[in-house]
Amino acid sequence: MAEVSHTALTQVPGGTYDLIVLANRLPVDHAVDENGRPCRRRSPGGLVTALHPIMKRRSGAWIGWHGRPGPAPAPFVHDGIHLHPIALTGDEVDGYYEGQSNGTIWPLYHDAVEQPQFHRVWQDRYRAVNRRFAEAAARVAAPGALVWVHDYHLQLVPGMLRELRPDLRIGFFLHIPFPPVELFCQMPMREEIMRGLLGADLVGFQHPQATRNFRTLAADLLGAKVTDRGIWYDGRDVAADTFPISIDVAEQQRLALDPAVRARAAEIRRELGDPRTIVLAVDRLDYTKGIECRLRAYEELLSERRLDPAQTVLVQVAVPTRQQIDQYQALRERVERAVSRINGEYAGIGRLSVHYVHQSFDRAELAALYLAADVMAVTPLRDGMNLVAKEYVATRTDGTGALVLSEFAGAAAELEEAWQVNPHDIDGLKDGIADAAEADVAEQRRRMDPMRAHLHAHDVNRWATGFMGRLDRLSRRWPRSAAA
């Protein structure tokens, strides 16, 4: 069951903020529960997972869309965070969110694993909505405030906001990959997007390759002077660097040690028929996540009896996402066909080979699933980071469990001891899953211990303080008056 909240809405008092986060989505969506009562539901995706605990600890405002077309609710407080909803019309949801953000930029930035679509009306709506976000931030930012803009939906905001409020310190962080020159240059708005990003004082990426791509594009497309110190453009210095995002490791560990969660994990194993091997996959139902390659590899492993169909279960949790977009609907049909084909072939009466769940879960239930799983299969074709992989590792407090991880996930640069695989290479992927399933406890711990140690030293708090601290230091080095 997804996390829902019915706590009374507290209105935000008027005033301004020293810290503002801008992201397409607020951390909670307005929704309706199973009894038809209005409620707030945690928004999907890694961005919210990472930023929510940070913003709970600091007093600041979060500006974002509340998840439905139509007028925006009044600003309200949730979990101690001041939320300022932005209204989007139905046309804007089509053009800015489903269109330019998720029909153009998302596939283009993920190696064009699906064909990006380019439409001028989408671009116009993207500009209009980015301006609305910039204006909303300009209204509520205190003098000299720190404004942190997030992700590919809002790439024009830093430039727009700088024009409106040159006194602000502006950071931008991209949660998804930033593509190489050959791909980025397909984008009709390419110079405009680069100028938008360079409106920030600090631009952050998940992976060093993304940072290199950005620096190259700044020089090639805009003629910016790129040095070790930064990017000199339009009379200002802009820093670009790598800040790999992470999770709230302490909170994940707390969940993992909670007796109720541990009991639920044991119950899940029983409900699945106590098989020898439980393989788990948890993704938004997105074509970047490599779900089809994973199902193909699993099917062949069952067919070749490298995994025993009577003793193996795959649990595929597929979080509903972007369901209005054709490519996502087509993916869902293909995945559901593959799941029923595998079950038709290898399941028995009262025993499934693939448990497919197209639902959101609360964090305790997810943690129980992580604890129940012998093998976690994270096989994206391209992913900015992938927090699910980190959550699995953080949950395995006794060092058992086996992570199979795509080398095309940003997390692969940090979780080096995982069974790393190329998801396009089905034979290699099969070997990775089979080896992970066969590993003994000593081998599991040999791999898990260093990954757990890495995560303890690199949690989400370090990510956030690293980014904000850098932004703070830069603005002291480059005084506002020079930028204004």
List residues binding ligand ADP (CB under 6 A).
44-46, 49, 282, 284, 317, 319, 360-361, 366, 385-388, 391
**Token pair for residue 261?**
């969660």
Instruction: Figure out which of the listed residues 55, 176, 249, 464 binds ligand F6P, where binding follows CB under 6 A.
Output: 176
Does residue number 322 form part of the binding site for ligand F6P (CB under 6 A)?
yes
Q: Which residue is nearest to ligand ADP (CB)?
A: 46
How far apart are alpha carbons 83 and 21 in whole angstroms?
10
25 binds, among ligand ADP, ligand F6P, none (CB under 5 to 8 A by kind): ligand F6P
319 binds, among ligand ADP, ligand F6P, none (CB under 5 to 8 A by kind): ligand ADP
- Based on CB atoms, which residue is closest to ligand F6P, 95 or 401? 95
Window 335-374: contact mask with ligand F6P (x via CB under 6 A):
----------------------------------------
Query: Least distance to ligand ADP from the beta carbon of 361, Å?
Result: 4
CA distances from 57 to 194, 267, 462 (A): 32, 34, 13
Query: Least distance to ligand ADP from the beta carbon of 315, Å?
Result: 11
Does residue number 244 form part of the binding site for ligand F6P (CB under 6 A)?
no
Query: Least distance to ligand ADP from the beta carbon of 175, Å?
Result: 7
Contact yes or no for 23/154 (Cβ under 8 A): yes
Window 127-156: contact mask with ligand F6P (x via CB under 6 A):
------------------------x-----
Q: Is 454 a catalytic residue?
A: no
Catalytic residue among 175, 207, 374, 459: 175
Q: Which of residues 15-54 bind ligand F6P (CB under 6 A)?
A: 25, 44-48
How far apart are alpha carbons 200 and 428 in whole angstroms?
41
- Based on CB atoms, which residue is closest to ligand ADP, 215 or 264? 264
Contact yes or no for 60/299 (Cβ under 8 A): no
Q: Which residue, 427, 424, 407, is CA-closest to 415?
A: 407
**Token pair for residue 439?**
């590993």
290 binds, among ligand F6P, ligand ADP, none (CB under 5 to 8 A by kind): none
Contact yes or no for 321/286 (Cβ under 8 A): yes
Does residue number 269 form part of the binding site for ligand F6P (CB under 6 A)?
no
Instruction: Figure out which of the listed residues 66, 82, 162, 175 binds ligand F6P, where binding follows CB under 6 A.
Output: 175
373 binds, among ligand ADP, ligand F6P, none (CB under 5 to 8 A by kind): none
Query: Least distance to ligand F6P from the beta carbon of 23, Å?
Result: 7
Q: Which residue, 158, 88, 165, is CA-closest to 128?
A: 88
151 binds, among ligand F6P, ligand ADP, none (CB under 5 to 8 A by kind): ligand F6P
Query: Least distance to ligand ADP from the beta carbon of 374, Å?
Result: 19
Q: Which residue is nearest to ligand F6P (CB)?
A: 45
Query: Least distance to ligand F6P from the beta carbon of 36, Å?
Result: 23
Contact yes or no for 161/147 (Cβ under 8 A): yes
How far apart are alpha carbons 208 and 186 in whole angstroms?
22
**Token pair for residue 330?**
């087509």
Window 373-402: contact mask with ligand F6P (x via CB under 6 A):
-----------x------------------
Query: Least distance to ligand F6P from the beta carbon of 51, Å?
Result: 10
How far apart are alpha carbons 261 and 259 in whole angstroms?
5
- Edge-first strand listing for the sheet containing 419-421: 354-357, 312-319, 277-284, 375-378, 402-406, 419-421
How far apart are alpha carbons 61 and 18 in whole angstroms?
9
How far apart are alpha carbons 361 and 371 in whole angstroms?
15
Phi, psi of 390 (to 5 degrees): -70, -40
Query: Least distance to ligand F6P from the beta carbon of 332, Å?
Result: 14
Query: Least distance to ligand F6P from the beta carbon of 362, Å?
Result: 17
Residues touching ligand F6P: how many (CB under 6 A)? 12
Contact yes or no for 124/449 (Cβ under 8 A): no
327 binds, among ligand ADP, ligand F6P, none (CB under 5 to 8 A by kind): none
How far apart are alpha carbons 369 and 392 in whole angstroms?
9
DSSP 223-236: --EE-SS-EEETTE
Does residue number 411 form part of the binding site for ligand F6P (CB under 6 A)?
no
CA distances from 317 to 32, 78, 205, 339, 390 (A): 22, 27, 28, 12, 16
Residue recorded with tokens 């930064």: 230
CA distances from 361 to 3, 42, 97, 207, 344 (A): 7, 10, 24, 29, 27
Question: What ranges in 31-144 are assigned the alpha helix state H?
Answer: 46-57, 90-92, 106-109, 120-140
Does residue number 321 form part of the binding site for ligand F6P (CB under 6 A)?
yes
- Based on CB atoms, which residue is closest to ligand F6P, 26 or 170? 26
- Based on CB atoms, which residue is closest to ligand ADP, 67 or 75? 67
Catalytic residue among 29, 94, 201, 383: 383
Q: Is 383 a catalytic residue?
A: yes
**How long is the chain?**
484
- Positions marked active-site: 175, 383
* Contact set with ligand F6P (CB under 6 A): 25, 44-48, 151, 175-176, 321-322, 384
